[in-house]
Amino acid sequence: MSIIAAFNNAFSGMSAGSKLAEIASGNIANALTEGYARREAALTSRNIAGNGMGVTVVSVERQIDEGLLQDLRLSQAKVSANQARLDFYSQIESLYGNPTDEQSLAGSVAGLERTLIEAAARPESVARLSLVADSAKQLVTGLNNAADQIAALRQNADRAIAHDVETLNSALSNARDLNLKIRNLQARGQDVSGLLDQRQQVIDQISLIVPVRALQRQNGEVALFTSTGATLLDGKAAVFGFEPTPLITPEMSMSGGHLSGLTINGQPLSTAPNGGRLGEGGLSSHFLLRDTWAPLAQAEIDTLARNLIERFANPSVDPTLAPAEAGLFVDQTGPFDPANETGLAARLALSSSVDPARGGQLWRLRDGINAGTEPGLADPEILNGYLTALQEKLTLSSGQNGNFANLIAQSAAGNSSHRLIAENDVTQQSSRTRALTSALLESGVDTDKEMQDLMLIERAYAANARVLQTIDQMLGTILEI
């Protein structure tokens, strides 16, 4: 009967209205939730056997631009990678020190040269000799510290890789579980928006570690791939493997077999070049740091340490030395071997024969490292020889040429350039990420719109309720006859 149909129409209107109110209130409640996608309801008029039968809520959709989300994830992975590079080079820059700082490496060399000049003016002065020893120690300590810090950065990178792999594995298995739940609930026709939100957050977490692409599969499932093609999740979740190394020394390398690489489902996965099949992200940067950047920085200061030792290991500078014997600066683990350059900066030390703290004598700075007794003469020859040795223009294997202070300054400048380039890259990538984030957030919850919709819903609900009342009156009129 038409009047019953009218009754049903009004009733469907009211239930649609209450569903819409539920959605609007849910949106407003989650206005500040990160990673929440605004829900919208799709309404359609019901049609049974050619007759209109009111309104129904077809589906509740999450309003999110998948393309934008994809771009944002890839951008975030790049930012992660570039930021790691910037942090590394900034750290190395601080190890070399600020060029105007007397305590910087270049400043320490200049200080040593100055104390040698002043000691040559009064070679008999114990005070001036002691200043020379202090300057030399400052230089040695600076190089030692730099080596220790680089080793620490490498160790941290190894630990960070282990942590990232753990996070990645657990995130992938979470994503797989969510996939299953979504499939099951969707099959039963239930609302899966909340689970979809959760899965989006898990994938966002993964995107900081590796650049990830998400592809929709059937039944609401999603498959995950890295931007360069490795499969992370496709029905089954990939399992990454990595063995952290408890102590990393400068000689250790992955190619030498001392350090662990990455495995995926038991197969080795290379992260070079440019992230290999893993893609450029936080994880690949940690590998780059551990296996490329840090060893290169280490090699640079090792070469400088070797150059320093060689300048002083010269019998024409110090006649008390045997040929090829280390002089003022030594390798503290044993006789100086030019072939054993790796890790030399950490092993660099001042010769104990001039260090009063280790049973040496300051006058040996003036009279020679192996001098037996103190002749007690104010002879500046060896001190002047040391100064000339530092000021001699030598060429390193890298092609750099100059006096020792120059060589250090050139290495520092080279490192600063790397840092500036990394900073540029980070700034560029960050501004892109900001723009994408902004665009994505624009499609989020707008409380003004929700309030407006609520006003309309309220009016529609009132109108439907009025219709119900009217029909009730009409039915009452009929029954009263």
Partner 1 sequence: MSSLSFGDLAQAFAQKSRISNLKSQSLRLQAELSTGQKGDLAKHLSGATDGLAAMERSRELAAGYLKLSKDFAIRSDIRQNALAVISTGLEGLGQTLATLTENTSPNDRERMATSAKAAFAEAIAALNTDVTGRAIFAGTRHNGPALANAEAMLSQLELVASAAPTSEQAITAIADWFASPSGFSATGYLGAAPLPPQALAAGGPSVAEPTAEHPALRRSLAALAIGALIDKPPFNSPGAETIRLRTGGLDAIAKAKDGVTDLSALIGIDQQRLEKSISQHQAESLSFEQAIANLISADPATTAVELESVRVNLETVYAVTARLSKLSLAEYLR
Residues that bind partner 1 (CB under 8 A): 20, 31-32, 34, 38, 40-41, 63, 93, 98-100, 104, 106-107, 109-111, 113-118, 120-124, 376-381, 384, 391, 405-406, 408-410, 412-413, 416-417, 419-420, 423, 434, 437-439, 441-449, 451-453, 456
Q: Nearest approach, Cβ of 116 to partner 1 (angstroms)? A: 8
CB of 349 to partner 1, least distance (A): 24
CA atoms of 398 and 408, how far apart (whole Å) = 13
- Give me the residues paired with residue 330 across strands: 349
In the complex, least distance from residue 45 CB atom to partner 1, rounded to whole angstroms: 15
Helix (H, G, I), strand (E, B) or coil at 107: helix
Smallest gap, in angstroms, from Cβ of residue 84 to partner 1?
19
Q: Which is nearer to partner 1, 113 or 302 (CB)?
A: 113
Least distance (Å) between residue 476 CB and partner 1: 35
Q: How far is the CB of 392 from partner 1 (least distance, A)?
A: 11
Residue 155, helix vs strand vs coil: helix
One-letter amino acid for residue 250 of the chain: P
Q: Which is nearer to partner 1, 361 or 384 (CB)?
A: 384
Closest contact distance (angstroms) between CB of 119 and partner 1 is 9
Rank residues 37 and 283 by Cβ distance to partner 1 and give the closer one: 37
- Tell me how far, at minimum, the Cβ of 370 lies from partner 1, in Å: 19
Neighbour-count burial of 163, counting CB atoms closer than 10 A to its CB (0-12 exposed, 13-18 middle, 19+ buried) = middle
Taking the least distance from each CB to partner 1, the nearer of 234 and 381 is: 381
Lookup: tokens for 438: 């902004």
Closest residue by Cα to residue 382 from 401, 364, 366: 366
Cα angle 290-344-416, degrees, rounded to a multiple of 5: 55
Looking at beta carbons only, is 40 or 134 nearer to partner 1? 40
> By C-beta, is 106 or 254 nearer to partner 1?
106
Nearest to partner 1 of 236, 449 (CB atom): 449
Q: Which residue number, 34 or 166, has a Cβ lying nearer to partner 1?
A: 34
8 Å CB contact between 261 and 254: yes
